[in-house]
Amino acid sequence: MRARYLLSLILLSSHSVNAQPHVPPGFQYVMPLAGARWVSPRTSVAIRPGALIATGEDPSGFLRTEGSLSGSHTGSASLSDDGRTLVFEPSFPFLGEEVVTVTLQPGLRFVSGDLVPSLTYTFATDGLPGTQPPPAAPAPSVKQPADAQSSIMNGVGMPSDFPFVTVPVNGATASGGLFFSNWGGAPYMFILRNDGSPLFYRRMPSRARDFKIQPTGTLTYRLAEPYNVFYGMDSTFTVTDTFACGNGYGTDEHECQMLPDGHVLLIALDYRQVDMSAIVSGGNPNATVIGNHLQELDRAKHVVFEWRSWDHYDIADAVHENLTAASIDYVHMNAISVDDDGNYVVSSRHLSEITKIDRLTGAVIWRLGGAHNQFTFTNDPQQFSYQHDVRALGGGHFTVFDNGNFKKPPFTRGVEFAVDTTAKTATVVWQYRHSPDWYTGWMGNVQRLPNGNTLICWADQSLPTITEVTSSGTIVYQSSFVSPAHCYRAFRFDWMGKAAVPYILVESTTDSLTLIANTWGRTDVASYRVYAGLTPSPTAVVDSGRGPLIRLTQLEGGKLYYFRVTAVDSAGKESGYSNEESALVRVARPGDNLVQNPGFDDGMNFWSLGLSDNATASSSVAGGQYVIHITAPGPNSYSVQLKQGDLPLTKDRKYLFEFDGVAAAPRTIAAQVEQDGGSYTNYSKSGTVALTSVMKHFSVAFTMTDPTDLHARITFNCGVSATTVVIDNVSLKEVIPTAGMTVAQRGPPSAFRLTGVYPHPFNPSTTLRFDLPAEADVRAVVYDLLGRTVLMRELGRCAAGPNERVLSLQEHASGIYLVRLTSTDRASGGTAAVTTKLLLLK
């Protein structure tokens, strides 16, 4: 790498380029800077002469780029929407380790009629930048209480895994909803009222952060790996745009700021191999150093401004980072703010520096804090340290979330500085420190609210999530997650959004499938229509409901259904479809196998093989058996793990866990039913079993003594030994407590009840299952949705206890029907009735 570094300098020197990156005389700004090194080969070129450029000429004929190794580059040139910046997008990347010459030929004119001056300058490329995100601390393994259920909160349907908050203080706050997200448990982003009830929420496919309203009115948020981009939503909560860094760089997760003109500010990630032995004693000659670059994208997503850390910050200025490490995050830029003069202010955590940057030229206006501090802190001798979230308030005032790392002792605060650029002083004019001090070593933010209050997000799960204080430091609001979770940032905004279509989630339990429907901001929804089917984009209506929770009890167990919902207003107008969700119907009676694909007749579906601790293994299904070929077993039994999750277990019920197993040679494995995450509680209380070269059957009976867990898992832990393992006929069933007993011995049911309709939906026949408290004659009457009788059938004399009868609708069309079962007691003559829905799909 050192040779490559020297080569770039030699190339630059041979082209008579000043080694200090700069803007050529006579121009306001160029990108990359003249003399810049370590430039991405995928870079575009931007030139800002300094005045409005006439639009009559196509600039493509005036801009040229040529690489010393790659030759002349064709591409497209255009004038950005600011009217001042020429952008050139090469049609193919430059090569690494070459000098690129940029030429602007004469001929273009300013709006004034004057000629745009000609220009020639050079920069040097390096290898392609890495785009992987920096390593993040693991999210805590925290879940909602295992026996939580979907519920309704202030008229909103709530999923069981929602990250609920507790609000011990709720006083005279600023107006608006609270915008934030959780890091830990199922990932959500949401807008909450002060009491913790949602104005909006959405379950996310991965960790979301920095959810807020932009000056344009757009809602933005970022999704973590593998997405790594920011998304924009309109006032109907519809995703309308995405924002990602250009020039080949990854998009950092910390910040997205939209300007009133629609331009977007982002932080780019640039991973470079650097010879650190040339910079510090003991440095790694091939270290990975992470650079951060401020980028401005215009409305066409062209990079019109790029401020690169390599051009302005020295790696050795990261005084608290280990500069001899193999990987060095020397900048860690984590916030961008726009000052009242239009210039940019950035926070660089690992430099303990806040930097103000000229938006037009890229020149550094001032540096506050860190190794190159230009100011005297008049009343703050410890200054700020490893800060987050600088925000310009105007008039030279700035708020900072001062994490306080490396202070003695460390403490965290929200603080406001007045920066006097003439006297070169920085003065604390307001701060909030909790008494006793709180400390969070990462993340967090401060927001000054319109009424003068200040909102503080403390970030770390060990502290309250949000505190709102008055200017005098009085707490008027405080909330925390019920199940501890981190929170990157939190905001309070006034918001008047209204969803165009419903948003749904689906939760499947052993008793029913619950569809949760909400239409955010709308008050005119009279009902919801549920569309469901066994294939995506269902068009068959299977149910309807007036509330946000719709329980579907008559779907066929073991089937994967797809769901969509529409909202119907009081005038009968139906909205468009909601998002589509799918769910495996897990309704099961005692004695039904809860395991999906238990005999591997469907290949490896529903099963996964997990490897850890550098273990290596492969799997296959042969002859209806799951075969695990272990080549390197790992040090722990769970180093090689076959598993299936989403198995519902109910507290105090009895279960039987069974399977067949064989091995190529005698060995042991650990087989159990356990919690999926958290403390990995072994619900089945089972341990190791001994496999031999002869297939054996294993059986474990247990009572679920822990709280109900709807997402338990079966695991076969096969590490430690390299011997091949074969698993077959896996079963987990709720034990029927009255098995083998007569009705007289166990007592009849206390009431007439319908226990199931299987299969459902059906074509053309289904089985009605019901319990009777005494011997009775039973009749079935089927109605359509208009109440008309379409079928009447005598089901005959039925004994006390469980009964089954087949019902056929062979002659009827697809649709929703109602069936009413009426029982007449043979002894007393008393009657009872039950009614349920039927869905016939032909």
CATH code for position 290:
2.130.10.10
Looking at residue 140, its pLDDT comes to 36
CATH number of the domain within which 629 lies: 2.60.120.260
Residue 704 lies in a domain: yes
Q: How far apart are the C-alpha atoms of 33 and 22, rounded to whole Å?
A: 5
Which residue among 464, 493, 522 closes a domain? 493
Q: What range does the domain containing 631 cover?
A: 608-734
Residue 166 lies in a domain: no
- DSSP secondary structure, 634-699, as one string: -SSGGGEEEEEEEEEE-TT-EEEEEEEEEESSSEEEEEEEE-SSTT--BTT---EEEE-SS-EEEE
User: Structure tokens of 139?
Assistant: 């999210």
Q: What is the dihedral of CA 347, 349, 354, 359, to 10 degrees?
A: -40
Residue 650 lies in a domain: yes
Which residue among 461, 493, 525 closes a domain? 493
Counts for the chain of helices (H) and strands (E), in that order:
3, 61
- C-alpha distances in Å from residue 128, one per residue of 76, 296, 305, 532: 21, 21, 20, 48
User: Structure tokens of 13?
Assistant: 């020197």
489 and 508 co-located in one domain:
no
Q: How far apart are the C-alpha atoms of 42 and 250, rounded to whole Å?
A: 12
- Side by side, which strands form the sheet with 344-348? 333-338, 344-348, 353-357, 364-368
Number of domains in the chain: 5
227 and 268 co-located in one domain:
yes
CATH number of the domain within which 763 lies: 2.60.40.2550
Q: Are 329 and 350 in contact (CB under 8 A)?
A: yes
614 and 576 co-located in one domain:
no
Q: Mean pLDDT, 10 residues at a time, over the chain (842 residues)? A: 42 46 96 96 97 88 95 95 96 96 95 95 84 42 45 90 93 97 93 96 93 97 83 96 95 96 97 96 96 98 98 96 97 98 98 98 98 98 96 98 97 98 98 97 97 98 97 97 94 95 89 89 95 95 90 81 96 96 80 89 92 94 94 95 90 90 96 88 94 94 86 94 96 72 52 78 84 90 84 88 87 85 88 83 74
Q: How far apart are the C-alpha atoms of 34 and 820, rounded to whole Å?
A: 83
507 and 486 co-located in one domain:
no
Residue 95 lies in a domain: yes
Residue 813 lies in a domain: yes
827 and 704 co-located in one domain:
no
Looking at residue 737, its pLDDT comes to 59
94 and 213 co-located in one domain:
no
Q: How far apart are the C-alpha atoms of 643 and 647, rounded to whole Å?
A: 11
Nearest residue to 521 via CA among 557, 575, 474: 575
Q: Are 94 and 43 in contact (CB under 8 A)?
A: yes
Looking at residue 10, its pLDDT comes to 43
31 and 88 co-located in one domain:
yes
Looking at residue 839, its pLDDT comes to 79
pTM of the model: 0.77
CATH number of the domain within which 52 lies: 2.60.40.1220
Looking at residue 225, its pLDDT comes to 67
Looking at residue 169, its pLDDT comes to 93
End-to-end CA separation in angstroms for the chain: 68
119 and 40 co-located in one domain:
yes
431 and 349 co-located in one domain:
yes
705 and 724 co-located in one domain:
yes
Residue 169 lies in a domain: no
Q: Which residues make Cβ contacts (< 8 Å) with residue 135, sequence separation at least 6? A: none
512 and 486 co-located in one domain:
no
Which residue among 446, 462, 493 closes a domain? 493
Residue 150 lies in a domain: no
Q: How far apart are the C-alpha atoms of 744 and 269, rounded to whole Å?
A: 74
368 and 420 co-located in one domain:
yes
Residue 592 lies in a domain: no
Looking at residue 752, its pLDDT comes to 86
